[in-house]
Structure 1
């Protein structure tokens, strides 16, 4: 279990919120877990352990296809053809999905998933797989993403014998992605519901935040239990590693949803992994001395937690303590400690992110590579720990091409194009305030419908070096749920600290421009020649910020 004062934890810890979780989950404080919750927890495991002799499987007069343990090496990280969740290992071989329980004997054989290993009746060959929680996706040779649930896959294993048997192996695969109740039947008639990956995507990963993670904590320390419905997301890293898109079954705009990457969107990730709404990306490079260096980032972000789901209540007010009302903005990217490499130590780009328990603090990060003695294995740590540990896996062969090439120039970390700009010399209308010396719109991006505004600020400079930094946040509207871009919902936030300030100049300015409102709904009009930020009629005093000259 993690220490509550761990330095990497991005959100505050509020012990009172545990009462909310216990109440909603019907768990008595410091008491036994109720039978209802225990049942759901047991179902999430899906594996029955036994020490009895192996019982031969009965089939419908057809032989059982299996692969020996040495034919498919157990994966320690995730690749396009290898995956794992908390229950099973998966591997795509010969166009089909093979699997076996993680709890099975190391010499246990592999069986075909869902009887024949295919995802449709046509038996279309598969090329990749990803799994997490109760979710699994597979991509076929036609670039169609098939999505299914593994909660009906139940196996019996033995701790001491390599045999294991399937009690049930049902996966209800589907190709229709959009599944909003009451809407999908109509919308899917006019919009193609088939989900396909982006061309030449570097990596794709499915995520499921459900019974195994139970809740998440927002940036105000408020816990949000979600034990039964959960959140499903598919994250994809584009062809140059600079853009991360995601799809949600309740969104028809598919991979039209974007999470701006670290370093203001300039970070170039080599690969991506995801689990329980947490994303992990990595980049390797060489410094000026030719030594291998690395960067690892993580972030907890899905359509609900970032506040974009218009069907869920969210607030920018830190004082709001109502249960189930999410505080936004959400968690930012966390730069993880670099993996220190010396002597023969080096890394591959193969990584994994695994969910270990309740809350987003229970995640394990893995990066495959070699240690200082050149032994194969993987580096791992808990998401908020500060030290990486190496686990040896001598049975796993790592091809030389997986490591960072010696031909990589010693130029440090490559960055992508700049996507945010600073717009200076703004104009405020209709007010004429002599004490207002400068207006700047910092780190604004014009790049389409995405999760923007996490770092965007309206900076106002008054006399005597008084500066007001006002966050400008964006959320999606209802239209985005059915694949229509629509307008973003913008809000300009005036931090409480300014209203508590004794400076008369600040007080007068906030009263005159914003009518002493903490949160002002605004419209942001983006044109080629200018950007206008205007208040929504009827919500606060009339104002309009205009930026015509772009300065980087």
Structure 2
């Protein structure tokens, strides 16, 4: 009876866990995500316009694959066996596959006869297959239009947003990704990729070993990861079957991307790369092992020894050691006589654990015989196996340099304690990367009373999980969010000067190797770190470090808005095909005018579509945040968050941070977009309107003059209206000097900044003025050859008011007031509500 109750309890707990997980990932609105591909595809059927915006836009049809089986069929036309995996020839544990004339053929390893796979050799809906990759019992296939299909040679359990299901062998699966399954197409972020491969880390390899040599069982379903070696050869982008179907996740080749690889192969999440001089590296890494999945796995930076072995399911519940293993340099292959290496490499799993991988490199031996060099991954010696392989001169390694520049970013900035800038403290980082995982060294310097001292603290970072599809976060204006963990010794925070020691202890005491205790957001322009450190039972000091590429000290919120303005989607406004300017147009200019008008019209739709998507993300993540908080309350009250078999405790440990950060991040991104994008959309629509009007004139006349009242940007409008760069005047409510500065460095934004200064010259308070419908008011004045205009104004402050009594320029809650600006030559007046706040003559 006791045994029965024990088994029943386990079943109930497992049932609760399944319901709990489904509650989180089903009820919390995850299924309503819209992918970037779907969004952009709805804007343009062919995607031609978006291809011209280089790495800024995710063109839906950017990847078209040709039949390259003649180049990749190094094992032969109809080989007896496939020894080396290529893009058109591969093998799994029991079968071999190849592409011939756009169709997929296969055979068991024990047989010689090749047959069409699933009778036709082509997935339903595809016209041909172009490239393949196989591992374990799974094969991934891209058709000629770059669409992904999957198939299995054994029954497999897979997951969807609704529930797990079993996949029948020898059938095609058309959809990919989670929580929303879609037709997956890689897109322009991996255009001209050098190589791709998939790896399945599941029951065949059974377990993996972390950095502390602890073995961890694969779990219940494992994962299949697809990896792309990008065009430059120093970055690998990836996604897996349990992630959104995009390639926004990355890691770098050795030495933070300095190593340039020419090819990649993968098995069971172990990447195998080779450079042009024959240097080889391997690394086991995927989304779970790198530390990015704390909702389902526990992680630690503290070394320990697990009591479970990898063949025990319970080992999956033990903490996974971080950081993830680094790249392992493989021994060089000794080349004598006629020996040569090709770029064709292969890796396959052949047992349990990290060491169960065989590496193969195709080439010639010292006598010039074709075949491959092979060894187990951690063996010291390579052996050569003769076999019939077929190479061209282009297949051999060129011997060119394998090393280039790193992918590191350098930032400088300030430290804030409880919102106050610590003026004597500066910080800098010189080795930060935007990869999904990595480390960086933060140098903190105190300079005071004629002395200066610096200390360095090491941080490990892993990207925070998000269920929203993305394009190229960190580089497209949208930040990446990270969990960060400091790693230092006592000597690292003990200084010569006591004041510096006290500060570092206040900042870092108690959080050394405390997993994910610091939150971070970053782009290629800035890095921000935030954390709390207890100063008593019920209180804590809040620390913020903000650094950017310029090193200018300022309001982090304002600086992030500036960098949002620089994102490639907005800068695409200035692409050459967007304008076609002449003093006089003729009928010969018709096609160019049509292209310019269409480009601007499509661009305006693109930005509007992106705003719509991110507004949806904002609502979705905010809804998920509050529903999670409710679920977390129930777990806390019932003490279910203390149960970790099943993983209720693990799921609840970092989920609050993940949901809250996602909601805050997408909310802030949309807020920035809602301020910046509408003005650029208006300018693009105006340009389209201008070119359309010129075309209408050309239909009636042989020539048409340009329309001077239409300007390309707001800077041109201000110049035409003789608006000065700066106005000195009076803050009326406070009866002191103030300045109005035109935001000349932001020609796509119609704005000013109104500010006052201390005697030292430091800015005391400021507010940003956004002119509403300015382009219409400006055109109205220009048509009448006038330079005076009046315009409605929005006020923006970048810091929250300390209380409802807080004032800006003598006005309470100025950001909620209806504003008005009037400029007439040298005179200017600004009102907030009924009160005049600034005047200048």
Q: Does the alignment pair 1:391 with 2:385? A: yes
User: Which among 451, 461, 479 is matched to residue 436 of structure 2?
Assistant: 451
Q: Give SS of 2:505's match.
A: helix
Q: Deviations over 1:154-184 (max 9, x none)?
A: xxxxxxxxxxxxxxx9422122112x4xx43
Offset at 1:115? 2.7
Partner of 2:402: 413
Which structure is higher in strand share? Answer: 1
| Aligned 1:295-374 pairs, distance under 5 A | 295-319=279-303, 323-374=317-368
Offset at 1:359? 0.6
Distance 1:304 1:528, change over 3 A: closer
User: Which among 494, 501, 505 is matched to residue 487 of structure 2?
Assistant: 494
Partner of 2:608: none
Distance 1:537 1:488, change over 3 A: farther
Distance 1:170 1:548, change over 3 A: closer
Offset at 1:264? 1.0
Q: Does the alignment pair 1:274 with 2:266? A: yes
CA distance in 1, matches of 2:421, 2:214: 39
Partner of 1:146: 149
Offset at 1:526? 4.3
Partner of 1:403: 396
Matched-pair contact (CA < 8 Å) for 1:125–1:140: yes
Distance 1:528 1:172, change over 3 A: closer
Partner of 1:379: 373
Q: Give SS of 1:269's match.
A: coil
Matched-pair contact (CA < 8 Å) for 2:529–2:544: yes
Offset at 1:87? 1.5
Distance 1:375 1:152, change over 3 A: same
Higher mean C-alpha displacement, 355-364 vs 321-330: 321-330
Partner of 1:239: 231
| Aligned 1:170-181 pairs, distance under 5 A | 170-178=169-177, 180=178
Higher mean C-alpha displacement, 506-515 vs 219-228: 506-515
Q: What is the CA RMSD across the aligned residues, in angstroms?
A: 3.5
Partner of 1:74: 81
Partner of 1:132: 135
Matched-pair contact (CA < 8 Å) for 1:314–1:328: no
Q: Give SS of 1:456's match.
A: strand
Q: Deviations over 1:109-167 (max 9, x none)?
A: 222222332222x46211221110121011111211111211159xxxxxxxxxxxxxx
Unaligned runs of 5+ in 1: 1-68, 154-168, 285-292
Q: Give SS of 2:431's match.
A: strand
Matched-pair contact (CA < 8 Å) for 2:480–2:522: no
Offset at 1:307? 1.2
Q: Deviations over 1:259-308 (max 9, x none)?
A: 22222113221111000011111111xxxxxxxx3211111011111111
Partner of 2:249: 257
User: Which among 518, 538, 558 is matched to residue 522 of structure 1?
Assistant: 518
Matched-pair contact (CA < 8 Å) for 2:244–2:469: yes
Q: Deviations over 1:411-449 (max 9, x none)?
A: 63252x542034457656558698x8x74323113x4xx
* Paired residues, number: 435
Offset at 1:512? 2.0
TM-score (norm 2): 0.47
Q: Give SS of 1:478's match.
A: coil
CA distance in 2, matches of 1:204, 1:317: 31
Partner of 2:658: none
Partner of 1:535: 531
Partner of 1:216: 208
Q: Does the alignment pair 1:109 with 2:113? A: yes
TM-score (norm 1): 0.70
Partner of 2:51: none
Partner of 2:194: 202
Matched-pair contact (CA < 8 Å) for 2:261–2:402: no
- Which fold has the larger relative contact order, with Cα–Cα distance below 8 Å and residues 6 or more apart in sequence? 1
Offset at 1:516? 2.5
Higher mean C-alpha displacement, 308-317 vs 367-376: 308-317
CA distance in 1, matches of 2:375, 2:524: 47
Matched-pair contact (CA < 8 Å) for 2:105–2:116: yes
CA distance in 2, matches of 1:202, 1:381: 24
Matched-pair contact (CA < 8 Å) for 1:212–1:358: yes
User: Which among 457, 471, 477 is matched to residue 465 of structure 2?
Assistant: 477
Higher mean C-alpha displacement, 360-369 vs 339-348: 339-348
Distance 1:96 1:530, change over 3 A: closer
Higher mean C-alpha displacement, 524-533 vs 247-256: 524-533
Offset at 1:510? 4.6
CA distance in 2, matches of 1:243, 1:461: 33
Offset at 1:78? 1.1
Distance 1:295 1:310, change over 3 A: same
Which structure is higher in helix share? Answer: 2
Distance 1:378 1:194, change over 3 A: same
Matched-pair contact (CA < 8 Å) for 1:526–1:532: yes
Unaligned runs of 5+ in 2: 1-75, 157-167, 307-316, 552-841
Distance 1:507 1:135, change over 3 A: farther
Q: Does the alignment pair 1:88 with 2:73? A: no
Distance 1:139 1:262, change over 3 A: same
Partner of 1:49: none
Offset at 1:533? 2.6
Matched-pair contact (CA < 8 Å) for 1:477–1:486: no
Matched-pair contact (CA < 8 Å) for 1:421–1:550: no
Partner of 1:119: 123
Matched-pair contact (CA < 8 Å) for 1:83–1:91: yes
Offset at 1:219? 1.0
Matched-pair contact (CA < 8 Å) for 2:455–2:493: no
Offset at 1:355? 0.4
